[in-house]
């Protein structure tokens, strides 16, 4: 099984590239951001709780996203592999993901990271905010909060995979195809 973690700050292009990777390697795409937004849309209790945190650019509690991933893994037992997008975002989540994959007799193949500088990220997210209808995409201060959460809580997740020799990074500025090609080389070298 190929189980990939696609990593990078908000606005790095994880969603765009996940769709292409999913297609090429025949994987199930699991985005915790998308899963949370569908809970909000469905008006569930979980969605209501998550919404206020997300609207402020803060992370939702680990147990919430871990629970969502757990049920998705159980729903997709026959999958060829998974691409995790926006998860794990804390070291706690990374440890939980190892436990969950082990329970399914598999493991994480590796992490591929997209590297994009903060200026470019802010520009991209504000641009996306014009059409995405996401409150967290429309305000510069909120975007900075998200980048801050990323620096503080999420960046250390890369070290977790580096320590296991499962980390590759790719420069995330250029054409979608160019970046995709670089990601594929990184994935194939894992
Ligand atoms: P982006 O990467 O562009 O910020 P996402 O759709 O991945 O967008 O996430 C949007 C928001 O959803 C995050 O700011 C956070 O509040 C919440 N979220 C998504 N994934 C996680 C996660 N793994 N752990 C905690 N919160 C999460």
Pocket flag, ligand 1, residue 116 (CB < 6 Å): no
φ/ψ of 142, rounded to 5, equals: -65, -40
* Mean pLDDT across 129-143: 92
Pocket flag, ligand 1, residue 53 (CB < 6 Å): yes
Residue with tokens 């014009």: 130
pLDDT tens-digit readout, 139-157: 999 999 998 899 899 999 9
Pocket flag, ligand 1, residue 172 (CB < 6 Å): no
Residue 41: pLDDT band by 50, 70, 90 thresholds?
very high
Q: Which of 22-36, 81-95, 126-140 has the lowest mean pLDDT?
A: 126-140
Q: Which two three-digit tokens encode residue 107?
A: 């493991």
Q: What is the pLDDT of residue 72?
A: 97
Residue 8: pLDDT band by 50, 70, 90 thresholds?
very high
* CA-wise closest residue to 186 among 171, 176, 174: 171
Q: How far apart are the CA of 48 and the centre of ligand 1, in A?
A: 15
pTM of this prediction?
0.94
What structural domains and CATH numbers belong to the chain? 2-188 (3.40.50.300)
């Amino acid at each position: 099984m190929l189980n990939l973690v696609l990593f990078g700050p908000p606005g790095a292009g994880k969603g765009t590239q996940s769709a292409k990777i999913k297609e090429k390697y025949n994987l199930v795409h699991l985005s915790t951001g998308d899963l949370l937004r569908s809970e909000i849309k469905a008006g569930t209790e979980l969605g209501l709780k998550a919404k206020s945190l997300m609207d402020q650019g803060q992370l939702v509690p680990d147990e919430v996203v871990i629970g969502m991933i757990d049920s998705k893994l159980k729903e997709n037992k026959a999958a060829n592999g998974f691409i995790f997008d926006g998860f794990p975002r804390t070291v706690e989540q990374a440890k939980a993901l190892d436990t969950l994959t082990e329970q399914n007799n598999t493991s994480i193949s590796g992490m591929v990271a997209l590297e994009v500088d903060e200026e470019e990220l802010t520009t991209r997210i504000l641009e996306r905010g014009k059409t995405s209808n996401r409150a967290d995409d429309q305000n510069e201060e909120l975007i900075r909060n998200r980048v801050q959460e990323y620096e503080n809580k999420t960046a250390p997740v890369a070290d977790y995979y580096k320590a296991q020799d499962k980390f590759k990074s790719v420069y995330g500025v250029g054409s979608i195809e160019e970046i995709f090609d670089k990601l594929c080389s990184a994935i194939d070298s894992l």
